[in-house]
Amino acid sequence: MNYSFLADAVLLVHFAIVLFVVAGLLLIAVGNAVHWRWVNGWWFRALHLLAIGIVVAESWLGIECPLTTLENWLRIQAGQGIYLGSFIQYWVHGILFYQAPRWVFTLAYTLFAFAVVVAWWRWPPVQVRD
């Protein structure tokens, strides 16, 4: 089994989720300004709220993200250690896992979640029909 490939795949999924959370809020704000109905679709908004809710809960509870745990385990299985690896790992890790005290991340995640809740209130989700 190619553990290195699987670890890179987990890292890319993790990165995609981060992009969804961050870009999702931006899309909601911009989309409402330009009248894109889909940005208020119930499923999009519920998944977005759920995603940031999980991040905040993990942060407040001091739980490492399961995707990080899985990726690290796969890297160890591949004999890489958790900070060595491929080009993909090097660059995506640099973006996702920067160094700061834990309280900084908890505060940032909490404030971002607050912004998501404000967007939920300001532009409530609706059932989008074609």
| Residues 2-13: tens digit of each pLDDT | 999 999 899 899
DSSP 78: T
Nearest to 80 by CA among 5, 28, 29, 24: 5
**Nearest 5 degrees, angle CA 33-CA 27-CA 90?**
150
pLDDT above 90: percentage of residues in the chain: 56
Q: What is the pLDDT of residues 56-100, one digit of tens each?
A: 999 899 888 899 889 989 989 998 876 555 545 566 677 767 777
The Cα–Cα gap between 24 and 49 comes to 10
Burial class (CB in 10 A: 0-12, 13-18, 19+), 89: buried
Q: What is the pLDDT of residues 28-60, one digit of tens each?
A: 999 999 999 999 999 999 999 999 999 999 989
Would you place residue 27 in the very low, low, confident or very high pLDDT band (cuts 50, 70, 90)?
very high
